[in-house]
Amino acid sequence: MARYLKTKYPGIFKYEGPRGAVYGIDYYMGGKRHREIVGKLLDEARAKLEEMRARAKRGDYVSLSRQRKATFDELIAKYVETEKGRPSFDRSRKYFLFRENGEERVPGPIWEFFRGRRLATIGPYDLEEFKRRRMEALLPSGKSRSAASVNRELAILRHMFSKAVEWGMMAENPFKRFRRSIFLEERNDRCRYLTEDEIHRLLTACPPYLRNIVQGALLTGLRKGDLLDLRWADIDLERRILYYTEQKKGGKRGVKVLNNDLLELLQRIPQNGSEYIFTGPDGKPIKDCKRAFQSALRKADIEDFRFHDLRHTSASYLVMRGASMKAVQAHLGHTTVRMTERYSHLSPDFLRSEVEKLDGAFKWSEVGQKSLQNAYLEDTLLHSQIPVSG
């Protein structure tokens, strides 16, 4: 049987129902008494009560009724309406929210977890529970979900709640209530890049349109989404410059200088009346080439490689050919050199050739060598307790 219980904290009550115990708050705002459920954590209820009392003092209660009624489903609808058309949303982000089955939208992992919930009832505990379940949910292949994958879903949620606050649907983004970041620590020490033989095998296994894409990725070091979004209008052949948009950085514009190989590639690609540079066999823009790329990798007998590793390959070959870290940083569009260091792994052969540059750098004198030999001999004899003759 459900029941309401008092706590030792004025304005905070405990509700025990069929689904367990939760905390709620009781306060006055705008001349009216309000009672609402907050969540399973007492600290969360105390923070919420302080927030509502502060809002009451400011007279900030006009949009409270709307905020209490707004649901996650309403947020989904408004979010999709405003975000659709953005390359990053259409290409990947929307699939965490829903999948289209004809005219029907089938909820994805985010929508499935929060569907039907009122936004005002979503707090830090719910975000922690969502993170835990996503970490425990295995991929179709049976493998564990990576920290980067879970963080991506959390980042989408954070952006959605920020928009909800901006639209007056929530009072505060629940992500801001964490003392420490809820995001998982990611390992960015992957060092896979293609050897010259693997590059040749991969290009041989690619159909012509995919070969152009792979060569473009190797020469520009661009992320897949930024590369596929390139248009002919972004090319300035006279100045030998390529302009691109960094989707990961909110549409920031970047510039690359066209080297001879990249210039030759662009001149070789037929335009076919399309505004996009990299198109499919039908001349239409490509949203993704994952399946075709995986097929080419299998034909080329290349394992443990992803499309993003082409960017790693591009940076690694720059370093192996003598480019500075600053130049590689500019090539990849990184904000700090530290971010670039994980792309600067060098091949053992190159390291060996570099270390061999020390050969002959130090001129040991014959006297110095003899002194070292005598010192070694005396030390050996001393420890063996054999007297040294004069």
Check whether residue 217 and residue 335 sit in a common domain.
yes
Check whether residue 205 and residue 336 sit in a common domain.
yes
Check whether residue 137 and residue 85 sit in a common domain.
yes
Distance CA 123, CA 319 (A): 47
Distance CA 176, CA 145 (A): 25
Query: Is the model more confident about 8 or about 92?
Result: 8
Check whether residue 125 and residue 14 sit in a common domain.
no
Distance CA 149, CA 134 (A): 9
pLDDT tens track for 342-384 = 655 554 555 566 677 777 777 665 555 555 555 555 665 555 5
For position 137, which CATH number holds? 1.10.150
Is pLDDT at 90 greater than 90 in this prediction? no
Distance CA 205, CA 156 (A): 36
Check whether residue 72 and residue 38 sit in a common domain.
no
Distance CA 209, CA 200 (A): 16
User: Residue type at 29?
Assistant: M
Check whether residue 343 and residue 272 sit in a common domain.
yes
Residue 380 in any domain: the answer is no
Residue 55 in any domain: the answer is yes
Least confident interval from 200-209, 274-283, 362-371: 362-371
Check whether residue 92 and residue 170 sit in a common domain.
yes
Residue 152 in any domain: the answer is yes
pLDDT the model gives residue 371: 53
Check whether residue 251 and residue 348 sit in a common domain.
yes
Yes or no: say if 198 and 302 are a contact pair by the CB < 8 Å rule: yes
Is pLDDT at 389 greater than 60 in this prediction? no
Check whether residue 231 and residue 326 sit in a common domain.
yes
Q: What angle do CA 37, 42, 47 make, to 5 degrees?
A: 80
Residue entry with tokens 């292949």? 141
Check whether residue 231 and residue 341 sit in a common domain.
yes
Residue 40 in any domain: the answer is yes
pLDDT the model gives residue 317: 87
Tell me which residue of 126, 211, 202, 112 sits closest to 170, measured CA to CA: 126
Q: At which of 39, 62, 85 does a domain end? A: 62
Check whether residue 204 and residue 305 sit in a common domain.
yes
What share of the chain in percent tops pLDDT 70?
A: 84
Residue entry with tokens 């990053």? 88
Residues 6+ apart with CB under 8 A from 314: 217, 218, 219, 220, 221, 331
Q: Write out the two tokens for 221.
A: 């070091």
Domain range spanning residue 99? 68-177
Range with top average pLDDT, 164-168, 277-281, 345-349, 364-368: 277-281
Domain count, the chain: 3
Yes or no: say if 38 and 48 are a contact pair by the CB < 8 Å rule: yes
pLDDT the model gives residue 227: 94
Q: Band of the pLDDT at 388, cuts 50, 70, 90?
A: very low
Yes or no: say if 320 and 332 are a contact pair by the CB < 8 Å rule: no
Check whether residue 242 and residue 311 sit in a common domain.
yes
